Structure 1
Amino acid sequence: MSVSYSRRLRAAVAAAAMITTATAAVVAGTSAANADTASSVPARFEQPREQLKALDFEALSTAGWSGADNAATADPAASTEPAEVAPEPAPAPPPPPAVTPDELARIVPGIQPEKIEQYIAPLNDAMVHNGIDTPVRQAAFIAQLAVESDSFRTFEEYASGRAYEGRADLGNTQPGDGVRYKGRGAIQITGRHNYEKLSEHTGVDFVAHPELLSAPENAFTTAAWYWTSRNLNQVADTAGIVRVSEIVNGGHHALSRRIADFERGLNVLIQP
């Protein structure tokens, strides 16, 4: 087994230091007792070369000396310099709101001021999570909600719902379905069939508890579900607000207002 020159030198210096110290102690002690006797102590290591010859480097190399120590000796900087730690990345800033309270008030002039603070967060959350993320899509979505909910005054249709009784196209096949599943939510979802689909999507049993659909915490989530289930983002992008209104309403009810609210919303969102 080979021992590097630096290791030999370190061993020699250490051993020589111990020998010199021990010899000096013996000589000093002997001088105190008897100077003549001190001069007769044999000097085994009289020359540095003799000291080096006397060291058993092979034994030293196997008695606690390791390859790791040799590697550290070869490059002292590698064992003493701390590893450089990369700085923590800065947290990403929160995304800006899709629509500000001021913008909502300008898009829907009839909205009650106290409703703005209550509804702005769930409205934005519904849009952000459903790809309603351009001025055209947002203006179309808000225009439909504004008409369907009477400027966010109600999330339940004013009419009784009897007009929907027996409407097979809405899935109202059981007695009382018209009233039970009348329009609710920010987009006035109507009919047993839509309530069933919505329950499957959200995990909330709106079929057994249709009144839950008019609760504010559900009104915007369910409106966004209806919007995406009809692929209305693409319809708004390509076919325009009239076709969006026809799909939402099933006809042309309040079409002129839907168009006016859309145009106002587009102006506000493009030039805030």
Structure 2
Amino acid sequence: MRTLELILDGELMQGDDVKALQQALADRGFSPGRIDSVFGAATDAAVRAFQRSEGDLLVDGQAGPRTRARLGLARDAALPSVADEVTPLIVARMLPDAPIDNIKANLGSVLDGLRHFGLTDKTMVLMALATIAAETAGFEPLDEFRSRFNTSPGGHPFDLYDNRRDLGNRGAPDGARYKGRGYIQLTGRSNYGVIGATIGVDLEGHPDRANEAATAGLILACYLKDRELKIKSAIIERDFARARRQVNGGTHGLGNFQTAYLRGEKLI
């Protein structure tokens, strides 16, 4: 029988822990085969089947805090946090082109946003920092620059956004008013309205607030939270392009994103 190692909170899960897991799976109709206290291939398959059936769990075969809590094996579903380990010096090594003063000024707001949305596990912290590396490499919230993708030849700034129905824009001056801002370049009246309502800030009425450090941190975390499972599924498969598309819609900045993420894996 193939035996898998399952590391939970830094310790190998085995013996009675595995037996309890196997029994809980069997009780819910996901048979792991023999209840033998061995985390083998059949137990891995049963865990994955249970995770798929729940719909909102990451399908990774790992009986982490969220899966165990759903099975009634743990009270606390919180994932191990690395937020307190992230320092300006670590981020500076991940994003070597970012001024250290910007990192010191903004890192706290980024981490506070992640804490607010419960995204302080290693994967999502690295995702947030790598996303900043791709979107706003200087590690500060900023306005979108004018380019051929948002402004027509001879047109007023951001006129190509004015009538973008997919962004919820309603004509001039919506293009410029709801241009990209913050750490992830939040764009469009609809996004400003929906995310603003979620974080409790009137972004539709006051779009410039998206560049306030505390607000930008909440926007980044809110956006990632909505895509958490898809991001983690992509990262597990080492598909950085798919993870990047969850935020950008494409692969712009993919090189910076992947490089920062991989550096962070070694540093945190």
TM over 0.5: yes
> Please, which runs of 5 or more residues in structure 1 have no aligned partner?
1-94
Larger % of helix: which?
A: 1
Alpha-carbon distance in 1 for matches of 2:127, 2:250: 16
C-alpha displacement of 1:154: 4.1
Q: Distance in 2 between matches of 1:255 and 1:163?
A: 24
> Residues 200-252 of structure 1: CA distance to partner in whole angstroms, max 9, x if unpaired?
11222111110111111211111111111233553455454211211211112
| Cα 1:235/1:210, change in 2 over 3 Å | farther
Aligned to 2:53: none
- Matches for 1:133-148 after TM superposition, within 5 Å: 133-148=120-135
- What is the percent sequence identity of the aligned residues? 31
1:258 corresponds in structure 2 to 257
TM-score under structure 1 normalisation? 0.59
Counterparts of 2:159 and 2:236 in 1: how far apart (Å)? 35
Deviates more, 1:105-114 or 1:162-171: 162-171
Aligned to 2:37: none
Q: Which amino acid aligns with 1:116?
A: I
Displacement of 1:198: 1.5
**Distance change in 2, residues 1:167/1:107 (3 Å):** same
CA distance in 2, matches of 1:96, 1:262: 15
Larger Rg: 1
- Aligned residue type for 1:117: K
Query: Structure 1's 234 and 187: CA in aligned 2 closer, same or farther, altered over 3 A?
Result: same
Matched with 2:225 is: 228
Q: Where in structure 2 are there 5+ consecutive unaligned residues?
A: 1-81, 147-156
Mapped to 1, the partners of 2:141 and 2:219 lie a distance apart of 15
Once residues 257 and 178 of structure 2 are traced to their aligned partners in structure 1, the CA distance between those partners, rounded to angstroms, is 24
Distance change (3 Å), C-alpha of 1:153 and 1:199: closer
Q: Deviations over 1:98-141 (max 9, x none)?
A: 41121111111111121122112112212223232333322222
Instruction: Kindly indicate whether residue 120 of structure 2 is the aligned counterpart of residue 122 of structure 1.
Output: no
Q: Corresponding residue for 1:214? A: 211
Decide whether aligned partners of structure 1 residues 196 and 233 sit closer, same or farther in structure 2, where only a CA change above 3 A counts. Answer: same
Aligned length: 176
Q: What are the within-5 Å matches in structure 2 for residues 25-174 of structure 1?
A: 97-159=84-146, 160-174=157-171
Distance 1:127 1:201 in 2: 14
Q: Quote the Cα distance in structure 1 between the aligned partners of 2:83 and 2:220.
A: 22
